[in-house]
């Protein structure tokens, strides 16, 4: 076999003609997978140390490889690394450069592994790092929400069903509802991280290797919990990428729901909250406009991540074991999903602590739409009236309020008593919005005391991570 060290390809021995230049560009992935260079080098260092421990590499060869890979990493960090599309991908670019730097020792690095298990390892390492970064931003956003909840535990606002005023809640309670969504998102990310944290190195192309490798050593070196158990599955599995993208789609779905509310709340028709100018933009033609661009853009990017999930599911649905070139198409949607989720979380984590609720506007809105009607029904039930009868009584009172354009709390006692003799002067204690929220004083309720406890518990949960 001829020496391939000067050839652009590291696999050219089998071929009698050069690859077509268009096919080179079409099949190359280095333009996007070079972002995994750090992980590729980490994996190669671990693999080399394992080969040395197995007496496949000498101590001098190991040192030469480690020093050479450190030089490669420095070149990449300083943007002087000579990336080449002819080398196809990040793995072959790094190996070729290493061989150019240190000679034959660089050619020995690939002993006992394939690009198939190499890329499977790199993606897991890269995604593990990405999940850690995303989890940190998720936590930072939750901290902002919990602080808002604590500061506004008693700030009354309308609660909605069907986007119609339903019952009063507190702004703090609403922020903690958002936090619950994100808490589930964090849990899903950690589950995904745990399941993917197994090391494929040693699976080689698909069947393992004839060399006496120590997969446990490599897994431990790279901080995986264990090696993967089946070589065929190791190189062809992309469940972890799909699972991460599914978790990301839910994160963006939750941010989109929050965005929708912020867009509504900042509108002139609601005026519930103010956003700082630095998170908004204006109009080129309408000088009065202050547009909530950050929430709107996050809402829009949700469809992008949903699309990546469908793309990955479709990519994998028809693949036989083991590795197929199709799998090269996993990286661009996965990388864009990571970037999009991380950017959206950073934007929200920066913005949310500075959301300012307009207390008086919120309180007036909470009073609209007979929001304490259920409280009046509960009052009558406590007086001994069956709930269905109480429901009918209050319905008639509301109908009268609609006719007179009066809220229940603004009606006279005599008017209220005309609907039920059980109503007494103490009824007005339950008809105020403050009384309504205070009465829901149980676990998960909107009473200010409960919101403060819930916010404190949520903060402790973050500290325990």
* CA dist., res. 74 & res. 81, Å (int): 8
> Torsions phi, psi of 422, nearest 5?
-75, -15
- pLDDT tens for the chain, 465 residues long, are 233 344 455 556 666 667 778 888 888 999 999 999 999 999 999 999 999 999 999 999 999 999 999 999 999 999 999 999 999 999 999 999 999 999 999 999 999 999 999 999 999 999 999 999 999 999 999 999 999 999 999 999 999 999 999 999 999 999 999 999 999 999 999 999 999 999 999 999 999 999 999 999 999 999 999 999 999 999 999 999 999 999 999 999 999 999 999 999 999 999 999 999 998 888 777 867 789 999 999 999 999 999 999 999 999 999 999 999 999 999 999 999 999 999 999 999 999 999 999 999 999 999 988 999 999 999 999 999 999 999 999 999 999 999 999 999 999 999 999 999 999 999 998 999 999 999 999 999 999 999 999 999 999 999 999
Q: Which two tokens stand for residue 344?
A: 């959206």
Give, rounded to a whole angstrom, the gap between the first and last alpha carbons of the chain: 55
* CA dist., res. 152 & res. 140, Å (int): 19
Do residues 249 and 201 lie in contact, with contact meaning Cβ atoms separated by under 8 Å? no
What's the whole-model pTM score?
A: 0.92
What angle separates helix 448-463 from helix 115-151, to the nearest 10 degrees?
Answer: 150
Sign of the Cα pseudo-torsion (237, 240, 245, 249, in order): positive
Q: Which domains does the chain show, CATH number per domain?
A: 19-111 (1.10.275.10), 116-363 (1.20.200.10), 367-463 (1.10.40.30)
Query: Strand 273-274 relative to strand 198-199: parallel, antiparallel, unpaired?
Result: unpaired
CA angle 417/418/420 to nearest 5° reads: 60
Exposure string of 131-164, with b = 16+ CB inside 10 Å and e = fewer, is beebbebbbbbbbbbbebbbebbbbbbbbeeeee
Tell me which residues are annotated as active site.
162, 283
Query: Strand 156-161 relative to strand 273-274: parallel, antiparallel, unpaired?
Result: unpaired
């Amino acid at each position: 076999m001829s020496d391939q060290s000067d050839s652009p390809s590291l696999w050219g021995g089998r071929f009698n003609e050069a690859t077509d230049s268009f096919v080179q560009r079409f099949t190359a992935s280095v333009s996007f997978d070079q972002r995994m260079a750090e992980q590729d080098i980490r994996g190669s260092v671990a693999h080399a140390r394992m080969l040395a421990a197995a007496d496949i590499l000498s101590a001098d060869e190991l040192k030469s490889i480690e020093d050479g890979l450190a030089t490669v990493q420095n070149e990449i960090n300083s943007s002087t690394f000579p990336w080449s599309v002819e080398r196809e991908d990040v793995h072959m670019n790094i190996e070729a450069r290493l061989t150019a730097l240190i000679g034959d020792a660089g050619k020995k690095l690939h002993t006992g592994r394939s690009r198939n298990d190499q890329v499977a390892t790199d993606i897991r390492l890269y995604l593990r790092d990405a999940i850690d970064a995303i989890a940190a931003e998720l936590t930072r956003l939750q901290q902002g929400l919990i602080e808002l909840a604590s500061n506004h535990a008693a700030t009354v606002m309308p609660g909605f069903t069907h986007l119609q005023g339903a019952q009063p809640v507190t702004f703090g309670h609403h922020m903690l509802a958002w936090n619950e969504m994100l808490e589930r998102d964090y849990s899903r990310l950690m589950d995904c991280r745990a399941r993917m944290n197994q090391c494929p190195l040693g699976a080689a192309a698909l069947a393992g290797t004839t060399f006496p490798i120590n997969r446990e050593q490599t897994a431990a070196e790279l901080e995986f919990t264990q090696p993967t158990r089946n070589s065929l599955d190791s190189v062809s599995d992309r469940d972890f990428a799909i699972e991460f993208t599914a978790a990301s789609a839910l994160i963006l779905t939750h941010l989109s729901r929050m965005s929708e509310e912020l867009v509504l709340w900042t509108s002139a028709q609601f005026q519930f909250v103010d956003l700082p100018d630095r998170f908004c933009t204006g109009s080129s033609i309408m000088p009065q406009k202050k547009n909530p661009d950050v929430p709107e853009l996050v809402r829009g990017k949700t469809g992008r991540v949903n699309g990546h999930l469908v793309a990955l599911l479709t990519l994998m649905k028809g693949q036989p074991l083991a590795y197929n070139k199709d799998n090269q198409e996993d990286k661009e949607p996965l990388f864009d999903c990571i970037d999009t989720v991380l950017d959206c979380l950073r934007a929200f984590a920066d913005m949310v602590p500075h959301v300012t609720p307009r207390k008086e506007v919120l309180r007036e809105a909470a009073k609209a739409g007979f929001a304490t009607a259920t409280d009046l029904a509960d009052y009558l039930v406590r007086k001994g009236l069956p709930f269905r009868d109480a429901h009918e009584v209050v319905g008639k009172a509301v109908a009268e309020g609609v006719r007179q354009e009066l809220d229940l709390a603004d009606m006279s006692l005599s008017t209220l008593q005309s609907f039920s003799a059980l109503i007494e002067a103490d009824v007005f204690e339950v008809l105020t919005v403050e009384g309504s929220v205070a009465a829901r004083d149980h676990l998960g309720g909107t009473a200010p005391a409960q919101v403060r406890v819930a916010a404190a518990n949520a903060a402790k949960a973050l500290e325990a991570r």
